[in-house]
Amino acid sequence: MTPLVSIRKLTLEASTARGTAHILRGIDLDIGRGRIVGVVGESGSGKSSLAACLIRLLPANLTRVSGEVVFDGTDLLALDETAMNAWRGARIAMIFQDPMTALNPLFTIGTHLADVLRRRHPGVSRKNATARAAAALASVGIADAPLRLSSYPHQLSGGMRQRVLIAMALLVEPDLLLADEPTTALDATVEAQIVALLEDLRRGFAGSIVFISHHLGLVAQLCDDLCVMYGGTIVETGPVAEVLAKPRHPYTRALLACELDDDAEGGRLVSISGEVPDPVTEHVACVFAPRCPHAIDACRSSVPALRDAGPGRRAACLRFEELA
């Protein structure tokens, strides 16, 4: 089966006061049909930029966008703005991080949901739209759905608003759903509710999901595949359980070691020495080499390719065979 989305050599550059910032440095990634792909990485690794490319909501200061994002045979990067707009809110939908700012304060919840429906299914009757909107609210666990349709965003708590955003995304029935840290802005017990909701909903959802998070535990729980980003590149991809059980890239391994293990007490806490790569530096070596305990001269003189590392797995490390 061909993947839903094939990203090839995706490169983003922006001009800054300090020079050209390399935001994405030649990303290759396939998003399988019906798969949930977790994208993890530290701040500045490019994970949100990757999602922004998929729905093509890119900042204005970009100086270079190159490569391909082929979605079911269509290169999204080659579409003009009008053609791209037809994809948004139809085949591609997005759940944003901050439910406080993603809803328009001047419109009711019902208007938000009906707008989404009318865009997806032009000509849907008002009555039908209201009924489907109420059903969507009920499906994300909002009680009193008919009452909530006439509420304004400020009358809802943060957790309720995030439920509304999820309901909007599901009404679209997209082929690709982008979720950018959808639980980060929520309190722990509310986050647990939303995670439980997402686990329930994934059974009834046929599309693919790109789930961006800095929380490895959450990704391990929710996702099928894992994509680890570092400094604008992908360093490792593969089925989530296998990557986490046996990471092949030293960065993935280091990141796992930094997760404060919940049964170790006392002792030193692990960190990765050095700093994250500066986006304005040109890469002529492995992006992780300056912080990698296993780096050798070869790592500092060429950029390692993201190559096969077992069934469904790829890693960008010259030495993963010998380090395994």
The reply to whether 89 sits near another protein by the rule CB under 8 A is: no
User: Does 155 help bind another protein (rule: CB under 8 A)?
Assistant: no
**Which of 259, 280, 296, 323 is the binder for another protein (CB under 8 A)?**
259
Count the neighbouring beta carbons within 10 Å of the beta carbon of residue 2.
11
- Residues in the interface with another protein (CB under 8 A) total 43
Q: Measured from the CB atom, is 201 or 218 closer to another protein?
A: 218
Instruction: Give the span between the Cα atoms of 177 and 207, in whole angstroms.
Output: 7
Q: What are phi and psi of 173, to 5 degrees?
A: 45, 55
Examine residue 221 and tell whether it contacts another protein (CB under 8 A). yes
Nearest to another protein of 89, 247 (CB atom):
247
Tokens of 238: 């593969």
Q: CB of 42: closest distance to another protein in angstroms?
A: 4
User: Site for another protein (CB under 8 A): which residue of 215, 253, 283, 294?
Assistant: 215
Of the pair 96, 230, the CB lying nearest another protein is at 230
- Binds another protein (CB under 8 A): choice among 11, 20, 111, 193: 193
Rounded to a whole number of angstroms, the minimum distance from the CB of residue 163 to another protein is 11
Radius of gyration of the chain (CA): 21
Piece of 28-36, 105-113, 255-263, 304-312 that binds another protein (CB under 8 A): 255-263
CA–CA dist 87, 68 (Å, integer): 16
275 binds another protein (CB under 8 A): yes
Among 268, 282, 284, 311, binds another protein (CB under 8 A): 268
Under rule CB under 8 A, residue 282 binds another protein: no
| Residue (81 or 263) nearer to another protein, CB | 263
Sign of CA dihedral 69, 73, 78, 79: negative
Of 75, 144, 187, 308, the one binding another protein (CB under 8 A) is 187
Alpha carbon 301 to its chain's center: 31
Query: Taking the complex as a whole, how short is the minimal distance between the CB of residue 51 and another protein, in angstroms?
Result: 19
The correct pick among 147, 196, 323, 324 for binding another protein (CB under 8 A) is 196
- Burial string for 120-159 (b: 16+ CB within 10 Å, else e) reads beeeeeeeebbebbbebbebbbbeebeebbebebeebeeb
DSSP-derived 3-state class of residue 214: coil
Please identify, among the stretches 120-128, 259-267, 279-287, 302-310, the one whose residues bind another protein according to the rule CB under 8 A.
259-267
Query: CA 119 → CA 241, 258, 261, distances in Å?
Result: 38, 44, 46
Residues sharing a CB contact under 8 Å with residue 47, sequence separation 6 or more, in sequence order: 39, 40, 41, 212, 229
Region binding another protein by CB under 8 A among candidate stretches 67-75, 171-179, 266-274, 305-313: 266-274
3-state helix, strand and coil shares in percent for the chain, rounded to the nearest 5: 35, 25, 40
End-to-end CA distance of the chain: 30
Window contacting another protein (CB under 8 A); options: 12-20, 59-67, 116-124, 215-223: 215-223
- Based on CB atoms, which residue is closest to another protein, 178 or 198? 198
Total count of residues recorded for the chain: 324
Residues in contact with another protein by the rule CB under 8 A: 42-43, 157-160, 187-193, 195-196, 214-218, 220-221, 241, 244, 254-256, 258-265, 268-273, 275-276
